[in-house]
């Protein structure tokens, strides 16, 4: 059945229930009281503080929708989106760590792992272990399943060989979802997902990338050289890795939309505060119509982005079709994040161009939104196909 593009919302989008409001407030408090003071230093050092990571585990942010029986919070996907949004207002790197853990790694394990694998891995992911999602390679970016990483059958297991690039959370992770092909001739039907742990013989985390933005979030190369994986490390069925990847990434795009939404909100908050305080020609710069127009435009775009993200997340939680809405949210939010962050720099003027104010960092952080978890062009393709299918 074609994906509809006008599925009705399942709840008033901006209405939060009491549990959601309390959760949102707790994340906001952590972001302001603990994260904000360290965001600039972590960006400069290119490393996320281990004490803050431990705090995110203790607050339950790394296992939001993992069931309580595994040590998680038993929350909803929508709560994960709220957490990502709130963290991104202060530091999009922190938001990305939480995003990958919840919307990609634990989400995939919850849906596709065996009972034994869930017991083994979800309990760790919920309490003290970072996870990483390893699909991309040098030759497989938008063409996600053009994988060169091989999994050769060997007795009662497989031997994995290849290299993964641009893998988020890799420096901190101890659990990795690694996608490899067991049969290159089968195309995407040969792709298989393996649960791999740090310290496995033949597996190592390689070079850490030196990036333009989201610098405190690690992005590394993974190297597999005849790494031995048992059949009990296959997640799902052999040859079904493409289905795991597609379904997980569709949900992950809502998370990236939330990250970019939060980033835009953070940049706007700084611009609004500065417009209220900065004076020129004897009055606040916010009293000048030119600045007012900029602020009005920023606020309107942010409100539209929030509605799109919340809508996609609510649809997902309700079990309704959401793929097109996720693509729209990811595409639009990544666009407005870059634009709003740029406008914020301009509102602040010269000081906005310096590292003394956070908008410079948010502007750098925004660029990746158009690139990872499906480029803007790939989101346009998804949206356009849905429109064309609906016209039949």
Contact (CB, 8 A) for 65 and 107 = yes
At residue 3, the pLDDT reads 44
The pTM of the full predicted model, rounded to 2 decimals, is: 0.95
Q: Where are the beta strands (DSSP E) in the chain?
A: 131-134, 150-154, 157-168, 175-181, 191-197, 203-208, 219-230, 234-235, 279-280, 283-284
Asked whether residue 305 is domain-assigned, the answer is yes
Boundaries of domain holding 359: 242-390
Distances (CA, A) of 182 to 196, 247, 269, 316, 338: 16, 20, 49, 31, 40
Mean pLDDT across the chain, nearest whole number? Answer: 95
Kindly state whether residue 3 falls inside one of the protein's structural domains.
no
pLDDT band at 144 (very low <50, low <70, confident <90, very high): confident
Tens-place pLDDT, residues 20-41: 999 999 999 999 999 999 999 9
Q: Express as a percent the part of the chain with pLDDT over 90.
A: 93
Q: What is the mean pLDDT of residues 355-381?
A: 97
Total domains, the chain? 3
Residues 49 and 188 in one domain: no
Of residues 167, 168, 134, 169, the one with CA closest to residue 151:
134
- My answer on whether 96 and 151 are in the same domain is no
97 in the same domain as 140: no
Boundary (domain end) residue, out of 100, 130, 160: 130
Co-location of 264 and 384 in the same domain: yes
Residues taking part in catalysis: 373
**Three-state DSSP class for 215?**
coil
The reply to whether 222 and 340 lie within a common domain is: no
Write down the pLDDT at residue 127: 97
Same domain, 175 and 257: no
Is the same domain home to 305 and 334? yes
Mean predicted confidence (pLDDT) in 190-213: 97
At 110 the pLDDT is 97
Looking at the structure, tell me whether residues 166 and 221 fall in a common domain.
Answer: yes
Q: Is the residue at 304 inside a domain?
A: yes
How far apart, in whole angstroms, are the C-alpha atoms of residue 178 and residue 198? 12
Residues 268 and 368 in one domain: yes
CA-wise closest residue to 327 among 369, 389, 382: 382
Q: Give the pLDDT confidence score for residue 1 in this predicted structure.
A: 38
Distance CA 306, CA 262 (A): 9
Band of residue 108 on the pLDDT scale cut at 50, 70, 90: very high
Nearest one of 302, 305, 299 to 330, comparing CA atoms: 305
Domain closes at, from 187, 211, 240? 240
Q: Which of 130, 148, 170 is the last residue of a domain?
A: 130
**Per-residue model confidence (pLDDT) at position 13:** 63
């Amino acid at each position: 059945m074609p994906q509809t593009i006008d599925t009705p919302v399942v709840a008033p989008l901006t209405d939060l229930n009491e549990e959601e409001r309390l959760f949102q407030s707790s994340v906001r408090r952590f972001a302001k009281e603990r994260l904000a003071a360290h965001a600039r230093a972590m960006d400069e050092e290119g490393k996320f503080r281990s004490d803050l990571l431990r705090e995110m585990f203790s607050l339950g942010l790394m296992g939001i929708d993992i069931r309580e029986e595994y040590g998680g919070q038993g929350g909803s996907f929508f709560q994960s989106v709220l957490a990502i949004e709130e963290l991104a207002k202060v530091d999009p790197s922190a938001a990305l760590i939480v995003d990958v853990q919840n919307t990609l790694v634990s989400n995939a394990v919850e849906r596709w792992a065996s009972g034994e694998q869930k017991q083994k891995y979800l309990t760790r992911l919920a309490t003290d272990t970072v996870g990483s999602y390893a699909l991309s390679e040098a030759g497989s970016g938008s063409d996600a399943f053009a994988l060169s990483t091989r999994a050769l059958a060997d007795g009662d297991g497989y031997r994995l060989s290849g290299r993964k690039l641009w893998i988020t959370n890799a420096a901190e992770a101890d659990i990795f979802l690694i996608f490899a092909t067991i049969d290159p001739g089968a195309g995407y039907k040969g792709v298989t997902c393996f649960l791999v742990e740090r310290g496995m013989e033949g597996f190592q985390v390689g070079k850490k990338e030196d990036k333009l933005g989201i610098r405190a979030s690690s992005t590394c190369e993974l190297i597999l050289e005849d790494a031995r994986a048992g059949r009990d490390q296959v997640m799902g069925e052999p040859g079904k890795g493409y289905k795991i990847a597609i379904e997980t990434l569709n949900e992950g795009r809502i998370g990236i939309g939330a990250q970019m939404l939060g980033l835009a909100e953070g940049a706007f908050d700084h611009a609004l505060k500065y417009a209220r305080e900065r004076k020129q020609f004897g009055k606040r710069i916010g009293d000048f119509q030119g600045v007012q127009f900029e602020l009005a435009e920023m606020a309107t775009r942010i409100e539209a982005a929030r509605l799109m993200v919340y809508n996609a997340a609510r649809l997902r939680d309700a079990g309704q079709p959401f793929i097109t809405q996720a693509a729209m949210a990811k595409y639009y939010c990544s666009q407005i994040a870059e634009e709003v962050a740029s406008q914020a720099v301009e509102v602040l003027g010269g000081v906005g161009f310096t590292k003394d104010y956070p908008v410079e960092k948010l502007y750098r952080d925004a660029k990746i939104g158009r690139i990872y978890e499906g480029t803007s062009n790939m989101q346009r393709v998804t949206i356009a196909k849905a429109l064309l299918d609906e016209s039949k």
